[in-house]
């Protein structure tokens, strides 16, 4: 099982790192590639085709501003693509979010919240868990861990 994380710029890597780390926590093999929909379109196309041939099952595409990367990746494969909007300096990622969710009919991109790299990874794990039972169990354990953490939180407003 494998997830390909594609991001349009090295400046996105601090956010993408959380996505990668979360996938690793679940034992999901992942790789990160910096390729731009606008500046390296031929290389992006070649990478998507190569990744599919190598067994990638889900793509996560992180992009800010115009954020065409997730849609372009989705246009190149029938595999699931998760869009991760990256916050930018002026519009705080709202521009990226709107760009990613406004896909034309027939080329969907699942989209998580702005900067929500962990949710992108969890969604990829959920998709993979349809095929890999061990991931379904790890997701249950993860949710139980979150539940215990909330229930054990102490509230002291003094």
Query: What are the φ/ψ torsions at residue 31 (nearest 5 degrees)?
Result: -135, 155
Structure tokens, 125: 């794990």
Which of these, 88, 53, 82, lies nearest to 69 by C-alpha position? 82
pLDDT in tens, the chain (158 residues): 699 999 999 999 999 999 999 999 999 999 999 999 999 999 999 999 999 999 999 999 999 988 999 999 999 999 999 999 999 888 999 999 999 999 999 999 999 999 999 999 999 999 999 999 999 999 999 999 999 999 999 888 88
**What CATH code is assigned to 2-151?**
3.40.50.1970
Tokens of 84: 């991760």
Backbone angles phi, psi at 23, to 5 degrees: -60, -45
Rg of the chain over CA atoms, in angstroms? 16
Q: Model-level pTM?
A: 0.94
Every domain of the chain and the residues it spans: 2-151
Q: Using alpha carbons only, give the angle 7, 104, 91 rounded to the nearest 5 degrees.
A: 50
């Amino acid at each position: 099982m494998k997830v390909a994380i594609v991001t349009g710029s090295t400046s996105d890597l601090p956010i993408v790192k959380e996505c990668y780390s979360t996938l690793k926590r679940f034992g999901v093999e992942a790789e990160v590639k910096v390729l731009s929909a606008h500046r390296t379109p031929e290389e992006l196309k070649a990478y998507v085709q190569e990744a599919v041939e190598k067994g990638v099952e889900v793509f996560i595409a992180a992009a800010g501003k115009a954020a065409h990367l997730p849609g372009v990746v989705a246009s190149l494969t029938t595999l699931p693509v998760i869009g991760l909007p990256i916050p930018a300096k002026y519009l705080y990622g709202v521009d990226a979010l709107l760009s990613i969710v406004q896909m034309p009919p027939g080329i969907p991109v699942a989209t998580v919240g702005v900067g929500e790299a962990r949710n992108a990874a969890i969604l990829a794990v959920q998709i993979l868990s349809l095929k890999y039972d061990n991931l379904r169990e790890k997701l249950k354990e993860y949710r139980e861990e979150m539940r215990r953490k909330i229930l054990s939180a102490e509230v002291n407003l003094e």
